[in-house]
Structure 1
Amino acid sequence: MGDQGDDLGEKADELGRRADNSDTVDHAVRFGLVVYGLVYLLVAWLIVQLALGERRGSVSTKGALKEVAEQPFGDVLLVVVAVGMVVLVLWRLLDLFVGHRDEEGADLWRGRGADLLKSAIYGFLGWKAFGLATESSSSGGTKVLTARIMDLPMGRVLVGAIGLAIVGYGVVNLWKGLSNKHREHLAHEGRSGNAGSAYLLLGKVGYVSKGLVVGLVGALFVYAAITHEPKDSSGVDGAVREILHQPFGTPLLVAVGLGIASYGLFDLARARHLSR
Structure 2
Amino acid sequence: MVDISQHMPAPSPEWIRRLAKFGLIAKGVVYCLVGILAFMAAFELGGKSAQSSDKTGVFQFILEQSYGRILLIIVALGLLSYTIWRFVQAFQDTEHNGGSAKGIGKRIRYAFSGVVYGALAYYAAKLVMGNGGSNGDSRQTLVRELLEQPFGQWLVGIVALGTAIAGFYQIYLGLSDKYKKNVQNARLKHEVESMMIKAGKIGYVARGIVWIIIGYLFLKAALASNPNKAGGSGSAFSFLENSSYGSYLLGAVALGLLCYGIFMFMRALYQPIHTN
Q: Which amino acid aligns with 2:231?
A: S
In the alignment, structure 2 segments of 5+ residues that lack a partner are none
**Separation in 2, partners of 1:174, 1:102:** 22
Aligned match of 2:14? 23
**1:187 deviation in Å?**
5.9
Matched, 1:247 2:244: yes
Distance 1:102 1:126, change over 3 A: closer
Normalized per residue, which structure has more helix? Answer: 1
Question: 2:65 aligns to what SS in structure 1?
Answer: coil
**1:119 deviation in Å?**
0.7
- From 192, 204, 207, the counterpart of 2:204: 207
Contact kept? 1:185, 1:274, Cα under 8 Å: yes
Question: 2:244 aligns to what SS in structure 1?
Answer: coil
Aligned match of 1:85? 79
Q: How does 1:161-180 map to 2 (within 5 A)?
A: 161-180=158-177
Aligned match of 1:109? 104
Q: Which amino acid aligns with 2:19?
A: A
CA RMSD of aligned residues (A): 1.9
Worse-matched range after superposition: 195-204 or 118-127: 118-127
Q: Which amino acid aligns with 1:83?
A: L
Aligned match of 1:143? 140
- The higher radius of gyration belongs to 1
Contact kept? 1:169, 1:211, Cα under 8 Å: yes
Number of residue pairs matched by the alignment: 263
Aligned match of 1:52? 43
Q: Which amino acid aligns with 2:185?
A: H
Q: Which amino acid aligns with 1:107?
A: K
**1:134 deviation in Å?**
1.1
Q: Deviations over 1:98-121 (max 9, x none)?
A: 214353412211221111111112
Worse-matched range after superposition: 183-192 or 235-244: 183-192
Worse-matched range after superposition: 136-145 or 238-247: 136-145
Contact kept? 2:186, 2:271, Cα under 8 Å: no
Worse-matched range after superposition: 228-237 or 265-274: 228-237
**Separation in 2, partners of 1:44, 1:186:** 23
**1:32 deviation in Å?**
1.0
Normalised by the size of structure 1, how large is the TM-score? 0.88
**1:180 deviation in Å?**
0.8
Q: Deviations over 1:155-184 (max 9, x none)?
A: 222222221221122122111111112223
Normalised by the size of structure 2, how large is the TM-score? 0.88
- From 51, 61, 74, the counterpart of 1:67: 61
**Separation in 1, partners of 2:194, 2:252:** 20
Question: 1:247 aligns to what SS in structure 2?
Answer: coil
Distance 1:191 1:150, change over 3 A: farther
Contact kept? 2:19, 2:84, Cα under 8 Å: no
Contact kept? 2:157, 2:222, Cα under 8 Å: yes
**Separation in 1, partners of 2:182, 2:219:** 31
Contact kept? 1:202, 1:265, Cα under 8 Å: yes
**1:130 deviation in Å?**
0.8
